[in-house]
Structure 1
């Protein structure tokens, strides 16, 4: 089995695409007006309009209601990303901080309120833990 993607359901696809194109520094692929994918070598972030939910079964997902998932991206330099994204992020949850498990991280919310974490392993143990991962 291969992990393929995470999909965010939203009422405003264009707004989230614009936001995540800036965060991820890639252009979205738009196979349909109600759906987009932002593809990186290590993961794909899909964004679907709430209208697409009915294709999976009514009520299976509700836009902007997530309060349990954190979308995480490993970056080279957390502090540099924080500075780069300051003009685009409206809600910072945690400024750059080194966490007890050895990652430097910054946490913010996307326009729909989903949590986004940018992190980099910085301690010897954390670097070792991530050394075999892409």
Structure 2
């Protein structure tokens, strides 16, 4: 069994999808206001408005992305005006991690392995 999709439910699909397009340096060619698929590899990343109002106070889930260089991504996030939770730091187990909020206040981690 594999996880087939991670979906972020939002009140504003375009705003959140545009953030992730800039963050991940991808373009899905869509400006759909209801549903956008951003990553369509083994595990998909979708942004979706199911019609219900979101309170944007999710405290039970986060996303983690493995990146080549956390410090490079940190500089990119600063240019995007992203709200940083934790600056890049090397962990005792060897990973270099950082965390930040997306526009809906979901917690996102970037990590690289040295």
TM > 0.5 = yes
Residue correspondences, number: 114
Structure 1 contact 29–37 (Cα < 8 Å) conserved: no
Unaligned runs of at least 5 residues, structure 1: 54-60, 123-134
Q: Which has the higher helix share?
A: 1
Tell me: higher relative CO, structure 1 or 2? Use CA pairs within 8 A at least 6 residues apart: 2
Give 1:112's match in structure 2, choosing from 90, 104, 107.
104
Normalised TM-score (structure 2) = 0.87
| Aligned counterparts, 1:42-121, within 5 A | 43-51=43-51, 62-121=54-113
How much is the aligned-residue C-alpha RMSD, in angstroms? 2.1
* Matching residue of 1:11: 11
Once residues 85 and 42 of structure 1 are traced to their aligned partners in structure 2, the CA distance between those partners, rounded to angstroms, is 26
Unaligned runs of at least 5 residues, structure 2: none
